Amino acid sequence: DTGVSQDPRHKITKRGQNVTFRCDPISEHNRLYWYRQTLGQGPEFLTYFQNEAQLEKSRLLSDRFSAERPKGSFSTLEIQRTEQGDSAMYLCASSLAVDYGYTFGSGTRLTVV
Amino acid sequence: AQSVTQLGSHVSVSEGALVLLRCNYSSSVPPYLFWYVQYPNQGLQLLLKYTSAATLVKGINGFEAEFKKSETSFHLTKPSAHMSDAAEYFCAVSASGYSSASKIIFGSGTRLSIRP
C-alpha cells in the first residue's frame, strides 16, 4: 500500500490554458474525493466518486471543471480555461467508507499566472 | 446539512503546556467527527475520529478529543505540547450511517504554534 498519489506536485500555467491532474487512490478504496484548499482555509469539497460513478459535484464547481474515474481506479481532474482564482492546492482522498475517515494525497499546487 | 466552526484561527502555547483546540459542529443527523493535521506542503493526516462509540477518543501523537452532544462540541486536547506539534489542525464532520451525504465537511483550521 503506497498511499494516495497525486501528480504533478506543482503546476504553473498561464491563464486560459487547460490543466489536468491525476490521482491514484489506495487500491482497495472504492470512494474517491477531490477537494480544493486555498491559503488559510480548510479543504473545500469539489466532487466524489464511488467506484466509477460520480455521485456528487459541488454547486460551487463551474462548468470549466470536470472529473473522471474510468474503471473505478485512478481519477483525473481537468480545469479548462484556467483563471487566476483557480490557483489553489487540489487534494485527492480515498476511503472505504466515511466512518473510516479519508486518506489524503500530498496534493497538486496549481499556480495560474 | 453539516458544518463545523473552529474557534481561534491561531493558538500559541509553550512547550510542555496543555493544548486545547476548540471545535463546534452542526448536524441534522448524528454526526461522525474527525480531527486532521496538516504539516506545511503536505496533505492531511487523520489524528482521530468519533463514530458513535466511546465519547472520549484517543488518537495519534498523544491527542484526544471528547464528543459532547449537549454542547455540540468536539474539542482536541493534548496534555503536554511538543515542538513537533506545530501544524494546522482541521476539525471535520460528516453524516453518520449509509447516506448520500457521505462527504466530510472541514472547518477553516487552527494554526498551532509552540513556543520554546
Q: Per-residue pLDDT tens for A45-97? A: 999 999 999 998 998 788 999 999 998 899 999 999 999 999 999 999 999 88
Distance (Å) of CA B1 to CA A104, B14, B23, B27, B102: 23, 37, 17, 6, 11
Q: What pLDDT score was predicted for residue B11?
A: 97
Residues 6+ apart with CB under 8 A from B9: A40, B108, B109, B110, B111
With CB atoms and an 8 Å threshold, state whether B46 touches A91: no
pLDDT at A4 > cutoff 90? yes
Contacts with A107 from chain B: Cβ below 8 Å: 42-43
- CB distance B63 to B75 below 8 Å: no
C-alpha A96/C-alpha A113 separation (Å) is 37
Instruction: Copy the grid coordinates of residue A35.
Output: 477537494
SS3 assignment, position B60: helix
* Nearest chain B residue to A57, by CA: B103
Of residues A37, A48, A5, A46, the one with CA closest to residue A110: A37
With CB atoms and an 8 Å threshold, state whether A106 touches B94: no
Interface of B to A at Cβ within 8 Å reads 9, 32, 34, 36, 41-46, 49, 51, 90, 92, 94-96, 100, 102-109
CB contact residues (below 8 A), chain A span 59-78, against chain B:
none
Residues 6+ apart with CB under 8 A from B84: B61
> In 3-state terms, chain A is what percent helix, strand and coil (to 5)?
10, 50, 40
User: Which of the 8 DSSP states describes residue B18?
Assistant: P
Q: What phi and psi, each to the nearest 5 degrees, are found at residue A44?
A: -110, 125
Print pLDDT tens along chain B (116 aa): 789 999 999 999 999 999 999 999 998 888 899 999 999 878 899 999 998 778 999 999 999 999 999 999 999 999 999 999 999 999 999 877 655 447 899 999 999 999 99
